[in-house]
Amino acid sequence: MRKFTAVLAIMALAITAVLTPASVASAQSPSAVIDAIKERGTLRYPVMSGEEPDFIRDPSTGEWSGFYPDWGRQIAELLGVKIDFVETTWGNLAADFQADRIDLAFGVNPNPKRGLVVDYVLEPIVEGVWVVLAADGFEVTNWRELDKPEVRLVSQSGSTMELIAKTIAPNATHVTVKSRDQAVLEMQSKRADAILLADQNGAQLDKAGIGHVVVPQPVLRNPMMTAVARKEGNAGFINLLANWSIQQRTLGLACAKITSYMKQRDIDLSTVPESGKYC
């Protein structure tokens, strides 16, 4: 019995030696990521060129505006830190997280593959719909009408739009581009019949006279989610963002901000009335 007790004592001492106060705190603190951001003094946040009015860069000052940069500033303010804008693309976000270049990203879509390397905040900020911007003379009412070899369908590479396009219309002639500006150029050059877009972007290009926006049936929902870097101790950060997202959605704050930016450009979101971004 004495030998058994002695063994237990030795084991307890060994465990205590391994689990130092620092390692226990590191393993258990849900605020580790928040603490690291505060210690750094900046929130690293992605921004993207050619994605107006989601992201707007003033060419004379380099300052960023748009609803995504505004939301990033809100989180930085909640944390009491400065915002550090990191220019990237939608397709590079997973790599940016893995390289520890950004702390969070708004507007990402549910993606199991991306979910292997980043953590999602399981509360949408707002729920929109996917639309098609159809070229003049090209009419579409449902997704099946796009599934033809003679239909030239444009989507952004590495995006949910590309996934939808190639899944729902596998027989279409697919044109993948890196940015929305390049997609527009394809249509203006009459090399495209339709572009797959998020609702607010379709409404914007409709206003510009580049094509006409259509919400094909059945309506495909587009929840605007948040992703964070997969790190130990990010539970507190996820909790903060989940609470922020619920407030933005249920009080109409996100909807109002998106609609406000659209109205500034005389863009009418009533062309996509099915969208939760229209209020």
Query: Which structure tokens are listed for 145?
Result: 């009408």
Q: What is the pLDDT of residues 119-131, one digit of tens each?
A: 999 999 999 999 9
Checking if the pLDDT of 63 tops 60, the result is yes
- Is the model more confident about 15 or about 84? 84
What pLDDT sits at residue 76? Answer: 98
d(C-alpha 40, C-alpha 32), whole Å: 12
Between 264 and 171, the more confident residue is: 171
User: pLDDT tens, 244-272?
Assistant: 999 999 999 999 999 999 888 888 888 88
Question: For residue 61, what are its two tokens?
Answer: 């000052």
- Which structure tokens are listed for 256? 């109002």
pLDDT band at residue 10 using 50, 70 and 90 as cut-offs: very low
Q: State the chain's mean pLDDT as an integer.
A: 89
Model pLDDT, residue 11:
47
Q: Is 27 exposed, middle or buried (0-12, 13-18, 19+ CB in 10 A)?
A: exposed
* Domains defined for the chain, CATH in brackets: 30-128+223-271 (3.40.190.10), 129-214 (3.40.190.10)
